[in-house]
Amino acid sequence: MNFDFNEKQLMVIKNAKEYTEKYLAPGVIERDETSTYPIDAYRKLGELGFVGLPYSSEYGGSDAGYLEYVLAVEEIAKVDASMAISYSVATSLYAGPIAGFGTEEQKKKYLPPVLSGKSLGAFNLTEPNAGSDAAGVITRAEKKGDRYILNGLKCFSTNGPLADYFFVVASTNPELKTKGLSGFIVEKAFPGVSIGKIENKMGIRSAQVSEVIFDNVEVPAENLILEEGKGFMLAMKTLDSGRMGVAAQGLGIAEGAFEIAKNYLKTREQFGKPLYKNQYLAFKMAELEMQIEQAKLLLYKAACDKDTGKPYTISAAKAKYACTNAAMDVTTAAVQMLGGNGYMREYHVERMMRDAKITQIYEGTNEIQKLVISGGLFR
């Protein structure tokens, strides 16, 4: 067993850090306040090959693996959780099903624009009546000749308002419930695709999340991934991987807040001594440090499972659960440790706390993760 990063991984971390400092740290507070997405920073992320980290260079990827990708998301989330999720959605949720199950033509056509950072990609599964329960999907894809006619409304689509490409799960056979779901690649440019309400959120405010509406959209049949009825499987497999992105986001948020708290405890003096000399605070930090490390090991293990071809559904669920809970616990504690300052925007931790909350919710709530893990136990 080897717990050391190799040189490539160390360089991914180093360069992701440099990218983050240069392109994301400036203005992170303002972007949160104004809900502004830094599209140029995303383009740069693509140009530098981060978006394509786990994919083949044949399709504009960087020939690395999921661990490398997870490390990059983690590094970015230490500073900007909004970009971390936008990135994760593009890489895991949009590109994932295409790279994993698409045809050669689909991969050649639909991966490079997103992996290179020229376009954003999004994932459309959730509907107003289909959250954790995908069987509630009512968006319909009816086959007419060599195309499908798509009708319906998707919600909570991260990157939705900015994306040029969508992975959409729709029903080709409502009677079959989840077995009647199918996955499609849909272009924003197809007539009938429009953006609905753009959400005003508690956290990840710089990320753009919206409804996406399909009104008699003609989708060429060759944009169906695999065959009809494979949509549910595609969505679940995709979310298994996506959860590692969310886990990395949560881990990064936790580490970012931890670092701020640590520096604060070292420099802030009350009652004539630095705060860290209060054992209550020092011990609390020890606990958080352990929680972060536990979460980290679960995440890296899950990524290694995927990279080495092992099953990773359960390990990804564990990682997502541990990392996102660490995010919530650490940020909440950090706000408390920074006292009044912690509640103020310029100290970052209040934003991180708001950002942390969603990580426990999306891409499978943490209750769903327990369902996945326990399901594995008693199968």
Partner 1 sequence: MKSVKVNQNNLNDYSDIWVIGELNDGKIHPVTVELIGKGKELINNLTGKKLNVIIIGYGVQNSAEKLLHYGVDKVLYVEHNLLKSFNTDYYVKAITDLIEDRKPEIVMMGSTYTMKDIGPRIAARLGTGLISDCTELEIDSSDGKLIQTKVSFGGNLLSSAICPNNRPQMVTVKPGVMNKAERSEEASGKIELVIPKLSENDTRLNLILKEVLEKKQVNLDKAKIVVSGGRGLKEAAGFDLIRELAEVLNGEVGASRVPIEAGWIDSSHQVGQTGVTVKPDLYIACGISGAIQHQAGMYQSKYIVAINKDPNAPIFKICDYGIVGDLYEVIPQLIESIKEKRMF
Partner 2 sequence: MIRSNMRIIVCIKQVPDTNEFKIDLETGIMIREGLPCVMNPDDKNALEEALRLKDEYNAEVIALTMGPLQAKDVLKEAMAMGADEVILINDLSFAGSDSLATAAILAAAIERIGHYDMILCGMQAMDGNTGQTGPQLAELLNIPQITYLKELNIIDNTVTATKWTESEKYTFKLNMPVLLTVNNELNDPRIPTMMGVMKAYDEAGEKKIKVWGANDLDIDIEQVGIKGSVTNIYESCLTHINRVSTIIEGEDEKEMAKSLAMKLSELNLI
Which residues are designated catalytic? 363
Question: Minimal distance in Å, beta carbon 263 to partner 1?
Answer: 7
Does 62 participate in binding partner 2 (rule CB under 8 A)?
A: yes
Does 218 participate in binding partner 2 (rule CB under 8 A)?
A: no
Binding mask 244-283 for partner 1 (x = CB under 8 A): -------------------xx--xxx--------------
- In order, the DSSP letters of 99-124 are HHH--HHHHHHHSHHHHTTSSEEEEE
With CB under 8 A as the rule, give the number of residues binding partner 2. Answer: 22
Work out which of 37, 42, 50, 321 binds partner 2, going by CB under 8 A.
50
| HEC secondary structure over 229-258 | CCHHHHHHHHHHHHHHHHHHHHHHHHHHHH
The torsion angles phi and psi of 238, rounded to 5 degrees, stand at -65, -45
Count Cα atoms within 13 angstroms, Cβ side, for 61.
Answer: 25
Question: Minimal distance in Å, beta carbon 338 to partner 1?
Answer: 9
Question: Minimal distance in Å, beta carbon 270 to partner 1?
Answer: 11
Question: Minimal distance in Å, beta carbon 271 to partner 1?
Answer: 15
| HEC secondary structure over 254-280 | HHHHHHHHHHHHHHCEECCEEHHHCHH
Binding mask 335-374 for partner 1 (x = CB under 8 A): ------x----xxx--------------------------
Provide the Cα torsion 121, 309, 77, 101; round to 10°. 10
Question: Minimal distance in Å, beta carbon 344 to partner 2?
Answer: 25
- Rounded to whole angstroms, the Cα distance separating 127 from 130 reads 5
**Residue 144 vs 273, nearer CB to partner 2:** 273
Instruction: Say how many Å lie between the first and final Cα of the chain, rounded.
Output: 29
Question: With 0-12 CB in 10 A as exposed, 13-18 as middle and 19+ as buried, what is 276?
Answer: middle
- Give which of partner 2, partner 1, none residue 264 binds (C-beta under 5 to 8 Å, depending on kind): partner 1
Does 275 participate in binding partner 2 (rule CB under 8 A)?
A: no
> Which residues sit at the interface with partner 2, rule CB under 8 A?
6-8, 11-12, 15, 18-19, 22, 47-50, 52-53, 57, 62-64, 68, 266, 274
